[in-house]
Chain A
Amino acid sequence: MEKMPKWADVVLIPVISLLLAAVISAIVILLIGENPMEALNLMVNGALGSTYGWGYTLYYATNFLFTGLAVAVAAHAGLFNIGGEGQAMIGGLGLALVCLYIPFPHWSIALLVAAVGAGIFGAAWAAIPAYLQAKRGSHIVITTIMFNFIAAAVLNYMLVSVLKPKGAMDPATAKFPESTQLPSLHEILAPIGIEFSKSAPANVTLFVGIAACIVVWGLIWHTPLGHEIRALGKSERGAVYAGISPVRTVMITMLISGALCGLMATNNVMGEAERLVLNATEGAGFIGIAVALMGRNHPFGVFLAAILFGFLYQGGAELALWTNIPSELIVVIQALVILFTGALDNMVRMPIEKIFLAFRKENA
């Protein structure tokens, strides 16, 4: 017998966790001498009150879609990919190389090829930890953390010593050629009569992210490979008994996960900055963890959680602009979400299970 209905597990528990995180954040805001209701008001207005705000919210959400999906896919195989940050950095490197050195006639072809480049680089960066986990039993959490730092060093070296144009001061590549510039939401929505802010960075990759959600959903629940991934995640011994090769499945899962992180570069590097800078990922790889936890590793949940975090990031930036609350508040909220939906899951879950059991007994 299940302890509680599915909707409680999928909706009720994340919502309660989120409320807990929100209440504690409100207390933190009170403690630093600001008004939580005003803060919320500012965030909602700043992030959702205009197409400009929406443009930023959706831009951030697109980043988190890719990294959240990456963490979710790995989680289905029982793997905790904490290396999204590094994979996204190296994905950005792959994308920059494609955009800088291959001439493209049209942005759509550029996007396609650049996505392949970014995906391959991201997947390659996940491949070594995956191989070490699968073949040598090294813990993937530790190796992916190490690879984040190695990626930062590689990127630093490439930007400072190799890719920086002659005479430039800041460690960044040259601007990508005009033919690789992606259309923004403004340009996409204008022909169908919707006015969208010109200066907001949301762009066509939002739809790539949504497509990735659908592909991941199909992959996990409607293909043999997805079945193998989930079987491995539930029980390795059971999976082996069913004839599934753990080595092969771990490798493929991590390659997909790394590629998804790499794909993020199509949004933040190609769509927004249009050149590769040092701190392009801005921690989005780690936010993917919160997004996947919040979204219960389901693509639709990830989609909602990504929008939520996009809202938090844009709202947080607005807060920092208009009040004395630094944008680090969002990092605290993010930490609380990870804490409540991830680590303290049982604290929320146990009382709710008890309530449902009590109800069931009464009805029986």
Chain B
Amino acid sequence: MDFLTLIQVLDSTVRMATPLLLACLAGLFSERAGIFDIGLEGKMLMAAFFSAAVAAVTGNVWLGLLAGIGASMLLSGLHGLASITFRGNQLISGVALNFLASGLTVLIAESWFRQGGRTPSLLTEGRFNGIELPFAIGPSEAEAAGRPLSELIGEANVIQQIWSELISGHSILVYVAALMVPLTWWVLFRTRFGLRLRAVGENPAAVDTAGVSVRGLRFAAIGIAGVLCGIAGAYLATGLQAGFVKEMTSGRGYIALAALIFAKWRPWHALGACLLFGLLQAVALRFQSIQLGGVSIPVQVMDALPYVLTVVILAGFVGKAIPPRAGGQPYVKER
């Protein structure tokens, strides 16, 4: 495997890790506030559909993004209604959201576009296209030289290859996702809101005693989760791919959940976990089987590895994953 192939796999890793990271941070906010969120998958799927649908109809990808975030927030609101207002089972509510999204998206897609549960393919204006950073070799240089982009990059030096292939050329949402990591860390660990949010996930009664609304904080947390899942879904349908197809999240919400546990509910570790799981997806995408010291590893191992790793972490064999203490329990205010 030459250097350029490696860079290309890493480039693909970044693309695959982006939706995982956004969803993982969404789960981080929610679960740190004591609300289990199995519905990441559903929220992403809903956002993916509405962003693609609105982008296809209006031709404006930013309107699409807004629609995606709105749809995801709506599901978040439903989750809040069930798990905060009516103190229902958060896990069951999450399961219901996932089914709701998986059914509704196809139903609405069929009713609006009649293309077998998908949206029309998005043209350039309807998508988040790659941003070319300064000094990077991009499509415009390739056009000027009249040669394929990969050839040009292949001939460049190592630093230029890393800059042009790996760092430059992603859509803006990829950079947004990367910025979300320090931002999440700062909000959670350096602001008053973050302190209260974490407290509400550990000991809501204490927060309540201090005169801060438990409900308000929890709704705020799942609201943020809704926004992040919305961006993740929009990236899937308008950045990574050009349009919505049925079940296009294909388990990414659950991988994000796995990454969240793998990262033990910490933002920087979440970045690491999502990059690792993104790498596994990128490798599975590029190679059918991998030769490792004479043994060929089937591609299914790559598919299963994120889940296996998470189970190992959960089992407590490699450090213990301790969730926020009040996670999953509805808060009943004392009368």
Chain A positions near chain B (C-beta within 8 angstroms) = 28, 31-33, 80, 82, 128, 132, 136-139, 141-143, 145-147, 149-150, 152-154, 156-157, 160-161, 286, 289, 293, 324-326, 328-336, 338-339, 342-347, 350
Are A342 and B89 interface neighbours, CB within 8 A? yes
Q: How far is the CA of A329 from the CA of B261 in the complex (A)?
A: 33
Given A132-B314, A132-B315, A345-B88, check contact A153 B106 (CB 8 Å): no
Interface residues of B in 73-92 (CB under 8 A from A): 78, 81-83, 86-92
Closest to B82 in A: A343
Are B311 and A344 interface neighbours, CB within 8 A? no
Interface residues of B in 12-70 (CB under 8 A from A): 38
Given A28-B107, A132-B311, check contact A286 B88 (CB 8 Å): no
Are B298 and A161 interface neighbours, CB within 8 A? yes
Q: Is the interface of B mostly helix, strand, loop or mixed?
A: helix
Q: How far is the CA of A63 from the CA of B110 in the complex (A)?
A: 28
The answer, yes or no, to whether B300 is at the interface (CB within 8 Å) is: yes
Closest to A155 in B: B300
From A154, A329, A342, contact of B96 by CB (8 A)? A342
Q: Scan B314-332; emit 1 where CB is below 8 A from any A CB, else 0.
A: 1110000101000000000
| B104 CB contacts on chain A under 8 angstroms | 28, 328, 332
User: What total count of A-B pairs have CB within 8 Å?
Assistant: 155
Closest to A28 in B: B107
Q: How far is the CA of A344 from the CA of B321 in the complex (A)?
A: 30
Given A328-B103, A346-B87, check contact A147 B307 (CB 8 Å): yes
Q: How far is the CA of A32 from the CA of B300 in the complex (A)?
A: 39
Are B96 and A339 interface neighbours, CB within 8 A? yes
From A31, A132, A153, A347, contact of B86 by CB (8 A)? A347
B312 nearest CB across to chain A (Å): 10
Are A329 and B107 interface neighbours, CB within 8 A? yes
Are A156 and B303 interface neighbours, CB within 8 A? yes
Q: How far is the CA of A157 from the CA of B81 in the complex (A)?
A: 41
The answer, yes or no, to whether B117 is at the interface (CB within 8 Å) is: yes
Given A154-B304, A335-B100, A344-B88, check contact A145 B311 (CB 8 Å): no
Are A331 and B99 interface neighbours, CB within 8 A? yes
Are A343 and B92 interface neighbours, CB within 8 A? yes
From B90, B95, B97, B106, contact of A328 by CB (8 A)? B106
B310 nearest CB across to chain A (Å): 5
Are B323 and A338 interface neighbours, CB within 8 A? no
From A142, A156, A329, A342, contact of B103 by CB (8 A)? A329
Given A136-B316, A334-B103, A343-B93, check contact A149 B307 (CB 8 Å): yes
B311 nearest CB across to chain A (Å): 5
Are A141 and B91 interface neighbours, CB within 8 A? yes
Q: How far is the CA of A137 from the CA of B321 in the complex (A)?
A: 10
Are A146 and B258 interface neighbours, CB within 8 A? yes
Q: What 5 additional pairs, Cβ within 8 angstroms, besides A128-B311, A346-B86? A: A156-B303, A335-B100, A339-B96, A343-B90, A347-B86
Are A335 and B96 interface neighbours, CB within 8 A? yes
Chain B positions near chain A (C-beta within 8 angstroms) = 38, 78, 81-83, 86-93, 95-100, 102-104, 106-108, 110-111, 114, 117, 251, 254, 257-258, 261, 298, 300-301, 303-304, 307-308, 310-311, 314-316, 321, 323
| A31 CB contacts on chain B under 8 angstroms | 111
Given A153-B300, A343-B82, check contact A147 B314 (CB 8 Å): no
Given A289-B92, A344-B82, A346-B86, check contact A139 B314 (CB 8 Å): yes
Are B310 and A146 interface neighbours, CB within 8 A? yes
| A350 CB contacts on chain B under 8 angstroms | 86
B185 nearest CB across to chain A (Å): 24
Most buried by B among A146, A150, A286, A289: A146
Are A289 and B106 interface neighbours, CB within 8 A? no
Q: How far is the CA of A343 from the CA of B81 in the complex (A)?
A: 9
B4 nearest CB across to chain A (Å): 30
From B38, B86, B110, B114, contact of A344 by CB (8 A)? B86
Are A142 and B92 interface neighbours, CB within 8 A? no
B121 nearest CB across to chain A (Å): 20
Closest to A341 in B: B92
Q: How far is the CA of A336 from the CA of B114 in the complex (A)?
A: 24
Q: Would you mind naming 14 contact pairs between A and B with Cβ atoms under 8 Å apart?
A: A28-B107, A141-B91, A149-B304, A153-B301, A161-B298, A286-B99, A328-B107, A330-B103, A331-B102, A332-B103, A335-B102, A345-B88, A346-B88, A350-B86
From A146, A328, A342, contact of B307 by CB (8 A)? A146
Given A138-B316, A141-B38, A344-B82, check contact A147 B311 (CB 8 Å): yes
| B257 CB contacts on chain A under 8 angstroms | 142, 145
A82 nearest CB across to chain B (Å): 7
From A33, A333, A344, contact of B81 by CB (8 A)? A344
| A156 CB contacts on chain B under 8 angstroms | 300, 303
Please list the 9 inter-chain residue pairs (A to B) with the smallest Cβ-Cβ separation, ordered nearest first: A331-B103, A343-B93, A335-B99, A332-B103, A153-B304, A342-B92, A32-B111, A335-B100, A343-B82
| A335 CB contacts on chain B under 8 angstroms | 96-100, 102-103
Given A145-B257, A342-B89, A344-B86, check contact A82 B107 (CB 8 Å): no
Q: How far is the CA of A331 from the CA of B96 in the complex (A)?
A: 10
Closest to B109 in A: A326
| B316 CB contacts on chain A under 8 angstroms | 136-138
From B78, B95, B251, contact of A149 by CB (8 A)? B251
| A326 CB contacts on chain B under 8 angstroms | 106-107, 110, 117
Closest to A133 in B: B314
Q: How far is the CA of A132 from the CA of B308 in the complex (A)?
A: 13
Most buried by B among A147, A160, A332: A332
Q: How far is the CA of A328 from the CA of B301 in the complex (A)?
A: 31
Are B107 and A338 interface neighbours, CB within 8 A? no
Q: How far is the CA of A150 from the CA of B104 in the complex (A)?
A: 27
B102 nearest CB across to chain A (Å): 6
Q: How far is the CA of A129 from the CA of B321 in the complex (A)?
A: 15
Are B99 and A143 interface neighbours, CB within 8 A? no
| B89 CB contacts on chain A under 8 angstroms | 342-343, 345
A297 nearest CB across to chain B (Å): 13
Q: How far is the CA of A70 from the CA of B86 in the complex (A)?
A: 27
From A143, A157, A328, A342, contact of B93 by CB (8 A)? A342
Q: How far is the CA of A7 from the CA of B89 in the complex (A)?
A: 23
